[in-house]
Structure formats: C-alpha cells, structure tokens
Structure 1
Amino acid sequence: MKAMLSEAPGGPETLKLTDLPDPEPKKGEIRLRVHAAGVNFPDTLMIRDLYQMKPPRPFAPGGEIAGEVDAIGEGVEGFAVGDRVLALTGHGGFVTHITIKANTAIKIPDGMPYEDAACFIFTYGTSHHALKDRAQIKAGESLLILGAAGGVGVAAIELGKAAGAKVIAAVSSEEKAAFCKELGADETIVYPRELDRDAQKALSGEIKKLAGPDGVDVVYDAVGGDYAEPAIRALAWTGRFLVVGFPAGIPKIPLNLTLLKGSQIVGVFWGASVYREPEGHAENMRELFQMYAEGKVKPRISARFPLEDAAKALEMMQDRKVLGKVVLTMG
C-alpha cells in the first residue's frame, strides 16, 4: 500500500509518499481499498500539531474516506467483500488501503460515486448537526454563514435552503460570492481580508441590512477571528451563534452582547457528537442520504488531486482558495 505520511510537525511540503505493507484486519475490522479521500481544514492543522487530536507519528492525515471492502476480520457481520462504504477516520485516510472498525463504516447508496461519498460525511454531517441539532433552525428564519464558500459553508447553504431559511452567504471575494449565489444563497456579503473597528461596524450594519431590522436569527461561523463579534452584534433577539471553526483565529467575545440580545453562543463539535449520540448521528445520516437522493444536497468538488499531490490539495485548503470541496483520488 501507499501512504502520505507526516513524520514531523510542519506544513504540507513535509508529507512523504511511503510504501508500507498492506494492513490486515483484526477482529471486528474490515479493510478498505480506498478510492477517494476528502480534504478538510483540520488536516492542515493536524500535520502541524495544532489540532485538538494529535496522532502519534508517523501518521497519514485524512479524516474521511470512501472505498470498497476487500478483506474482512473475524466476527464481522453485515459486510461482504466488494461492499461500497464511506467512513470517518479522524486521520489515516491519505492511503490506498486502511483497516477500520466495521461498526464505523456506512454503506454508500448505489447512485453515489466514491468522490461524492468521500466529500459527504464531514461537511454535511457537521452542518446538519449544527443547523438541526444545535440551532434548531426553523423555516422563515434568517441564516448568516461566515466562510460560506468552503466545504462546511457550502453544505450549510444547501441545508439552510432545504430547511426554508433565508440564507446570507458571507465570503472574502466576488468570485466566492458568485459561487454561493449559484448554490442558492439569497444574499451575499463580501468582507475584507482584515477588519479594523470601523470595518467591523460596517460589516455588522451590512448583515442587519440584509437580514432585516431585527437582525439575523442564526449565525454559522466557520471563520472566527475578528469576524465573530460583528456577526454577534447583528444577532436578533434570542439569536443563536454557532461556533464551528477558527481559521482566522479564536475570537474574544464581549459577553454583555449575549445578555442584551437574549442570545446563545452554541458550540458545534460534530466529531464528539457522533460518538456520544450515535442514534442521532444515524438518523442524521439517513436524512442526508435522502436529501442527496432528492437532489437537495450534493458535494461541490472544485479540485481533484492524485494521492502523490496531497500537499497541493492541503496548500489550497490552508490558503483558503477552495470553492466547495477538494478530493484525493487513489487510482
């Protein structure tokens, strides 16, 4: 098998394509021939030791995969060689073969290509959990998405529209704004790369202008940094601010804003919810597969790279040049 390994902390350029023996499935495990692996922002943090999970080295990044079962360990039921599955691995997915616990694999619908499957569970799982479970979004509410052109942002646009919300997509360029409009966003905001206090006030005012005088009901923040506070200032009474990610840095929020608006700051840790609330996760996946079959959601893959070019894929992700999703293909 081939694996793209992180042997020491560093950027994408430090990854090394390595030949390793094929792993053998242990009791309760299955082995997959990986066809595709999704690329996500946490991958760029994990190889630098900046993510909350720090796997022992050497390790392959890659938290979501899709492939076919090619070997089955002792005691596994419900799977056969040749089954098409996707799985959330946390790390280890930038490989041609991998063993996983059988109970973590999810069979792929017949009409779903491997590339779509490998770009599905992380972004749509996160955004569905955020909007449905954490925000309890309702039809007719307004939804502001910061970082709307990225993977989870695109998923939030589609899921927000499916829930009947008015979607405002906030992004860093006109190109990304046009992309979000194509996906169904009702309104777009182009924010500057850096915000001073005046720019923060202007951004907050623009949000209120588009959301209506009462403010925005739900903020989906996949950016953080200086963009969080102006979004919170634009919240409506009892609005919900979803904490999803911090590529622009961890913000410091004046908590008096939540008191004055009766609002909530709500953490979204989807990975933990999968293990803590397995029944809810299973229900969410059934709903997402149904929406995929109905054409309401579909991964927007803007770039594809072979495994040996994983560094280029991660560079696109860390430089915020990605529209939708990036995928690695294993040949």
Structure 2
Amino acid sequence: MTATMRAVVLTEHGDLENLSLRDDHPRPTPAPGHVVVKVRATSFNYHDVFTMRGMPGIRIPLPVIIGLDIAGEVDELGEGVEGWRPGDRVLVHPHHPQRGLMGETLDGGLAQYVLVSAEQLIALPDKVSFADAAALPVAYGTAHRMIVDKKTVRAGDSVLVLGASGGVGTASVILAKKLGAEVIAAVGGEDKARRMLELGADHAINYREVDFRQWVRDRYGKPQRHSDDGGVDVVVNYTGGDTWAPTLRSVKRGGKILVCGATAGFDPPEDLRYIWTFELQVIGSNGFSADDFHALLAGVAAGEFAPVVDEVMPLSRAHEGLRRLRDREVIGKIVVDPWLEG
C-alpha cells in the first residue's frame, strides 16, 4: 500500500480556491542522490502568490505542492547519499541543482514530507528553531545578498525601505541597522509603523497617509543635481509599480536604488532623466546563495538577530496564511508547521 501524507496542493492556476488540503497525498520515496525530509516548518513568500496565479513564461507542472522555504529533519536516504543520517536537522536550499525551485517546478514545503537533492541540504545549528530557519531562505537570503554581499549599504547611510513590513522588507530593515545605517521604514498602516520602530527602524512612514517622496524632501532636502545634498543614500524598492517614479525623485546624487522584485508591478513609468542627471545607481539583485544562508544561520545562532515571524499555523490554515500575505496583512513571515494540530 502506498504511504500517504497531508499536503496542500495547487491543482490549477488562479486563486486560493485552487489550493486543496489533502490527507492522502502520496508520500515521496527516496531517489538516488536525494533524501526525504520530514518538514517541520515552511514559510510563505510572495513568490507563492505568483505561482498560485501563474507567471508568464514560467511553466509550472500541475498539480504541485507550493512552498520554497523548508526546514526539517532527514527522514530517509536515497542511494549514494553520504554525510547525512536520519534525524539530522537541516535547512533546504530552495533551488534544486537540476530541476529549479522548490514549490514551483517541483513539490515544495506545504506537506509533511518532501524529496530534495542531498546537495540542497544545509546543517541547521541546534540553537536555531525550525520556524526561524524556515523564515530565512528566500526573504532573508535575498536581502542579505542585496545589502551585505553587494556592499550596497554603509554605516551612516540613510536607507529608505519600501514595503518594510514584508519578509524582504523586515530583513532589509534588520540587516541595514546591523550595518549602522539610519533606516526609514515605509509601510501601509499605523500598527505596522509601530512594529517597525520596535524592530529598530529609526523612522516609520505610513505611505497610505504620507507621501514618502515629500517626507524625504522635508527631512533631508530636495536632491541636488550639482551636489550630494538632499535625498536619501539608498532606497530598497522591491515593489515597483507606482512607487518607482517617486523613488527616482527621493535619492540623492550618486545614490542607490536596490531592486530584487516587483510585487506591485514590473513595468512602471520611467523617467530616465533622473538616472543620468542625478547619477543614480540602479542595482539589481537576484536570488541567494548557500553562503548567505550560512551567514544568516550563524547570526541567528549567535543571538545577533531573530527573523520576524508573524504567526506559526497548521496546514489547515494555509489558505488563510497565503490570503493574509496576498492582502499585505503580514508583518514578517507566516510559517506553517505541517505537524501542528488544527
């Protein structure tokens, strides 16, 4: 008889109604060079919303179990796997070396078990919880590569983070503060603004009530084309859409705009004159590496910072968690524990 497990399965592209909670989904079996991981925690990213809706140019084999971020324990070893044993605590690199992203082109973490390549395994320090580990890969790994690896933020910089209450946003706030920057968090509500200040942001703007471009000018002055006066040093903009034009007008001469996504739209109006007139640096950053994960895990294990986890919920509430993320009702990360009752 085929072994089964609980899983949340995307049956076709669309919205939340196409996610199905199943109690009898086939459990994966070991394959050569692979291991079966018992999923102890997974977390949502906005990428999961895009996968649910369908992304132009990316073919998703349906049905699929979504979820890129995975932490758990090695359960079974496939042929040829060495250096790991059942019970080892692991973080899973979201990118399979041959098949692409977990939860997109192959089954991901919204299940009790998942099959991954042994090459994807990263040892999880005992001092890092499964929930904290599952919050890290996509959001914190992306922010770490964009801010730390690329050396885009320096001590004393003024850094405006748009969408600061999301996964990448909270990670950017935390990492920029660790580097000694003055951080301005732009969020969509007063409760979120208060939470950003608690996390260490120096200033918080409710962009639903305050024009962040005007706020920057009021505090730092209007950017000048013939000097470095006015504007902020860095803007983290992974939203795009209608935030792009005011971003161009908020950065000082020679300043940087960091881009790692476009959750509000990838084709915004552009005025190239601002880029050359103010000698702006638009710096793209794509993805993450195992080195990012090792650095982040070491920081969490040492107590240097903790990822922001909004709530840990069971598989039965995964629809609710993804809806809250879609509707921007989350501060930090929603984590799902597939073994949690509820």
When the two structures are superposed, what TM-score results if normalisation uses the length of structure 1?
0.90
Deviates more, 1:253-262 or 1:241-250: 241-250
- In the alignment, what sits opposite 1:11? 15
Q: Which residues of 2 match residues 80-91 of structure 1 at below 5 A?
A: 80-89=85-94, 90-91=102-103
The answer as to whether partners of 1:305 and 1:329 remain within 8 angstroms in 2 is: yes
Structure 2 counterpart of 1:157, which letter? V
- In the alignment, what sits opposite 1:310? 318
Instruction: Write the deviation string for residues 287-309 of structure 1: whole angstroms up to 9, x where unpaired.
Output: 22222133232122112221122
1:47 match: secondary structure: helix
Name the CA distance, whole Å, in 2 between partners of 1:136 and 1:150: 20
The answer as to whether partners of 1:65 and 1:87 remain within 8 angstroms in 2 is: yes
> How far apart are 1:53 and its partner, in Å?
4.0
How many residues are treated as equivalent by the alignment?
Answer: 315
Instruction: Write the deviation string for residues 163-203 of structure 1: whole angstroms up to 9, x where unpaired.
Output: 1111110111111100100000011111128xxxxx8xx43
- In the alignment, what sits opposite 2:239? 223
Distance 1:62 1:222, change over 3 A: same
Structure 1 unmatched ranges of 5 or more: 194-198, 275-280
Name the CA distance, whole Å, in 1 between partners of 2:59 and 2:252: 38
- In the alignment, what sits opposite 1:204? 213
- In the alignment, what sits opposite 1:325? 333
The answer as to whether partners of 2:136 and 2:293 remain within 8 angstroms in 1 is: no
The answer as to whether partners of 2:161 and 2:173 remain within 8 angstroms in 1 is: yes
- Any runs of at least 4 consecutive aligned residues in structure 1 with deviations exceeding 4 A, and if so which? none
> How far apart are 1:286 and its partner, in Å?
2.7
> How far apart are 1:51 and its partner, in Å?
6.5
2:63 match: secondary structure: coil
Name the CA distance, whole Å, in 1 between partners of 2:242 and 2:282: 16
Name the CA distance, whole Å, in 2 between partners of 1:189 and 1:162: 20
The answer as to whether partners of 2:70 and 2:109 remain within 8 angstroms in 1 is: yes
1:120 match: secondary structure: helix
Which of 162, 166, 170 is matched with 1:150 structurally?
A: 166
> How far apart are 1:26 and its partner, in Å?
1.0
The answer as to whether partners of 1:46 and 1:53 remain within 8 angstroms in 2 is: no
Structure 2 counterpart of 1:181, which letter? L
The answer as to whether partners of 2:11 and 2:62 remain within 8 angstroms in 1 is: yes
Distance 1:74 1:98, change over 3 A: same
The answer as to whether partners of 1:170 and 1:190 remain within 8 angstroms in 2 is: yes
The answer as to whether partners of 1:135 and 1:242 remain within 8 angstroms in 2 is: no
> How far apart are 1:124 and its partner, in Å?
1.1
Structure 2 counterpart of 1:325, which letter? K
Deviates more, 1:170-179 or 1:246-255: 246-255
1:182 aligns with 2:198: yes
The answer as to whether partners of 2:165 and 2:196 remain within 8 angstroms in 1 is: yes
How large is the Cα RMSD of the aligned pairs? Answer: 1.7
1:262 aligns with 2:279: yes
Name the CA distance, whole Å, in 1 between partners of 2:277 and 2:142: 29
> How far apart are 1:211 and its partner, in Å?
4.5
> How far apart are 1:265 and its partner, in Å?
1.4
1:137 aligns with 2:153: yes
Which of 259, 283, 286 is matched with 2:291 structurally?
A: 283
The answer as to whether partners of 1:139 and 1:165 remain within 8 angstroms in 2 is: yes
Structure 2 counterpart of 1:78, which letter? G
The answer as to whether partners of 2:240 and 2:262 remain within 8 angstroms in 1 is: yes
1:47 aligns with 2:52: yes
Name the CA distance, whole Å, in 2 between partners of 1:70 and 1:146: 40
1:56 aligns with 2:61: yes
Structure 2 unmatched ranges of 5 or more: 95-101, 222-228
Pick the structure with more helix per residue.
1
> What percentage of residue pairs aligned between the two structures are identical?
37
The answer as to whether partners of 2:73 and 2:86 remain within 8 angstroms in 1 is: yes
Name the CA distance, whole Å, in 2 between partners of 1:286 and 1:312: 31
Name the CA distance, whole Å, in 1 between partners of 2:56 and 2:198: 33
Name the CA distance, whole Å, in 1 between partners of 2:178 and 2:219: 20
- In the alignment, what sits opposite 1:170? 186
The answer as to whether partners of 1:45 and 1:51 remain within 8 angstroms in 2 is: no
Name the CA distance, whole Å, in 1 between partners of 2:112 and 2:37: 8
Name the CA distance, whole Å, in 1 between partners of 2:254 and 2:33: 46
Name the CA distance, whole Å, in 2 between partners of 1:291 and 1:211: 32
When the two structures are superposed, what TM-score results if normalisation uses the length of structure 2?
0.88
